[in-house]
Amino acid sequence: MTDVLLSFYKPPTVFSIASKDTLFVSFHPEPVLQVRIINFNFETVQVTWSPRRYSGTNLTFVYNSDEASRPCCNYIVHESHTAGCLLEARKDEILCFSLGNGTDILFQKCEWISAYLKPSSPEDLSFRWHEDAVTVTCSDLPYKRLVYEIQYKSIFDTEWQSKEGETCNVTMQGLDSEKCYFFRARVKTLESSYGSDTYPSDWSKVTHQQRGELRGEACYTAVHGPAACLLGRVEWGHLKTRMTSLPTSELHKCLMPSVPDPKLTFPGLFELHREWIKDTQNVSHVAKTEATEQECVPEETLVVQLQKAEAEMPIVTTGPLCPPTEGEEASGDASPVACQPPQGGEVVSLGGLHVCDD
Amino acid sequence: ILPDALLFVLSVFFRKIFILQLVGLVLTYNFTDCDFEKIRKKYQEVIYQALNKYMNGVKTTEFNNYIYCEDPPDCLAKIDLITFYPTHGCTTLAKEIFAIRTNATLTLQCPGYSGTQINNTQAKKKRKKRQVTTNKCREQVSHLMELWRRFSRISKQ
């Protein structure tokens, strides 16, 4: 970005230009105009100015087009006064323009519009996975000497990794296709071809990929931990916002990932403990227990209820270690620590998980 | 008395006429048969750095850049003109490092280009007693840099 500070000398046909850093010639050192130019993808050129001495004045913008002088047709207005002009960019060309206040020309300049290029953001990223590498592609812009930057990170990374290429065809190695990754892309210009005053494009939308597939919101529900889905793409400071913005069903799914069938994980376990299973067959109804525990404020401890081997998948619920019963509340004997199981069952603790066996 | 807007348009117009007349008078070599891709690579590898060093942090956008080139041969013709032919207020560009490298590149990549005969011994001595870079010379080099950038953008990959 370049803000060109100008000073001028009357008569207005003679002028000097002073940079922020180096003053070449100045007859009136007090800057009066700050002009900024942005070339949006060689489609639209925006010239804005902030007059200091002439605040409250409608400056007129005149530019050359096809060797003819034309006034601005599309002014940008700020506080009821002209503050900029939007022009159509036809090609890689020089723009000569002037800013005037009635009869006086305050500023004249000729510039290559390429010097202020801001490329458009990449769209429609495509992904091609091959073992531990992924190639990201998108449509190249119709002009050259650009740098396409792809950034990626897994849900466990805090910093983005970056890879660049001269075309929108960039391969990144050393990735784990089983992990969920976030990708984004943008376009920059080569300084030797455009100068140092250009702007990078905006970042593309973030895309989530796992096992070569677009994941979307499912990228967050990793089995590595319930908090990962909340930390996936938000910063810590937005954690609360993220939690309150998620629908209840999503939050429920986020904090309580599904538990795989233990029978499949530990082959033979149920067969070896057949007698134990028989003893636990007479249990109170699951639905009743669920209804009770769902009234509780969820805490970090999971209460996993095992069903009979040939019955449904295990149901995961959350709840306090055990909510005090009405009687306990009245007598003040509620014990927040000890797990008071429902009638007829016993408690098994498995590495921090309290298994209330009904 | 002409209105200021008309004066502005006329000044731009006359500048272009002047440049074109100069080119018409001096130009004898046709740059059409040059290897533009190799020249572009040399520009990015060695000439660009030398131009930047000459400008010493001064940006081209601080000058009025009004010299346009249409295609690669046109860009090289104007680069050759500004680099090697002295103008009023700036007569020593031909002895600068970027000019020497430009001369070498064009000689190598443009069949029949005779180049500029620069006395290397004199050039070294001159570099020791390098004159203070004038604003006019920086303006010329600013035009050169813009022409080189334009050339690099439009030369085929």
* Predicted confidence band of residue B117 (pLDDT cuts 50, 70, 90): low
Residue-wise pLDDT tens digits, A23-34: 222 334 445 678
Within 8 A of A17 by CB-CB distance, chain B residues are 62-64
Estimate the crossing angle of helix B48-55 against helix B97-109, to 10 degrees: 160
Q: How far apart are alpha carbons A158 and A167 in whole angstroms?
A: 27
Among residues B90, B102, B108, the alpha carbon closest in space to that of B145 is found at: B102
What CATH number does domain A35-117 carry, 3.10.28.10, 3.40.640.10, 2.60.40.10, 3.40.50.1860?
2.60.40.10
Binned at pLDDT 50, 70 and 90, residue A183 comes out as: very high
Give every CB contact of residue A223 below 8 A, 6+ residues apart in sequence: A257
pLDDT class for A216, splitting at 50, 70, 90? low
pLDDT band at residue A140, thresholds of 50, 70 and 90?
very high
Rounded mean pLDDT, A52-77 = 86
Contacts of B5 (CB under 8 A, 6+ apart): A62, A69, A98, A100, A105
Pair A75, A94: CB distance under 8 Å: no
Confidence tier at A251 by pLDDT (50, 70, 90): low
Mutate to test the interface with A, among B2, B4, B48 (most CBs of A within 10 A): B4
CATH number of A120-213: 2.60.40.10
A280-314 pLDDT, tens per residue? 655 554 444 444 444 434 444 444 444 444 444 44
Is the ipTM of this structure higher than 0.95? no
Q: Which amino acid is at B138?
A: R
| DSSP one-letter code for A205 | P
pLDDT at A336: 41
**Residues A230, A238: Cα–Cα separation, whole Å:** 10
Q: Average pLDDT over chain A, rounded to whole?
A: 69
Name which residue leads in pLDDT, B120 or B17.
B17
Of A13, A17, A104, the CB nearest to B62: A17
Token digits for A308? 């009979």
Burial of A222 (0-12, 13-18, 19+ CB in 10 A): buried
Mean pLDDT of A113-136: 94
Query: What percent of chain A has a predicted confidence (pLDDT) above 70?
Result: 49
What is the pLDDT at residue A22? Answer: 28
CB spacing of A13 vs B4 below 8 angstroms: yes
What band does A195 get if pLDDT is binned at 50, 70 and 90?
very high
Beta bridge partners, A62, equal: A71, A98
Give the model's confidence band at B137: pLDDT under 50 very low, under 70 low, under 90 confident, else very high: very high
Contact A317/A305 with Cβ under 8 angstroms? yes
Q: What is the pLDDT of residue A169?
A: 96
Positive or negative, the Cα torsion across B19, B23, B24, B30? negative
> What's the mean pLDDT in A137-160?
94
CB contact under 8 A, A19 and B13: no
The tens digit of pLDDT for each residue in A90-110 reads: 899 999 999 998 888 888 999
The rounded distance, in Å, linking the Cα atoms of A251 and A244 is: 9
Q: Which of B15, B55, B81, B127 is nearest to A192 (CA)?
A: B55
Model pLDDT, residue A57 = 81
The least confident of A221-230, A330-339, B81-90 is: A330-339
Are A155 and A206 a contacting pair, CB within 8 Å?
no
Joined together, the tokens standing for residue A305 give 């209820």
Residue A86 pairs in a beta bridge with: A46
**Where exactly are the structural domains of chain A?**
35-117, 120-213
Task: List strands edge to edge, sheet with A302-305.
Answer: A315-318, A302-305, A353-357, A346-350
Domains A35-117 and A120-213 share a fold: yes
Strand pairing class (A44-49; A34-40) = antiparallel
Query: For the segment B61-83, what is each residue's pLDDT rounded down to a tens digit?
Result: 999 999 999 999 999 999 999 99
Neighbours of B16 (CB within 10 A): 13
Distance from CA of A8 to the nearest CA of B (A): 14
Q: Which range, A268-277, A292-301, B35-44, B112-121, has the best average confidence (pLDDT)?
A: B35-44
Q: Nearest CA to CA, how far is B5 from chain A (Å)?
A: 8
Q: Which pLDDT score, from 0 to 100, does residue A275 have?
A: 56
Mean pLDDT of chain B: 84
Q: What is the layout of strands, in order, in the sheet containing A68-71? A: A68-71, A60-65, A94-101, A104-112
Q: Which tokens hold the place of A311?
A: 């019955």
DSSP, res B87: B
Give the whole-angstrom CA distance, residue A229 versus residue A96: 53
Please give the single-letter amino acid code of residue A301. T
Percent of chain A with pLDDT over 90: 36
In chain B, residues with a C-beta closer than 8 Å to the C-beta of A196 are: 59
| CA closest to B139 among chain A residues | A24
Residue B89, pLDDT score: 85
- pLDDT-derived band at A259 (thresholds 50, 70, 90) equals low
- Check CB contact of B11 with chain A, cutoff 8 Å: yes
Are A207 and A183 in contact by the 8 Å Cβ rule? The answer is yes
* Nearest Cα residue in chain B from A115: B61
State mean pLDDT over A117-124: 95
pLDDT at B130 over 60: no
Contact flag A115-B3 (C-beta cutoff 8 Å): no
Residue with tokens 């069938």: A261
Domain B29-153: which CATH number of 2.60.40.420, 3.40.50.300, 3.90.850.10, 1.20.1250.90:
1.20.1250.90
Which residue of A64, A107, A145 to mutate against B (max B Cβ within 10 Å)? A145
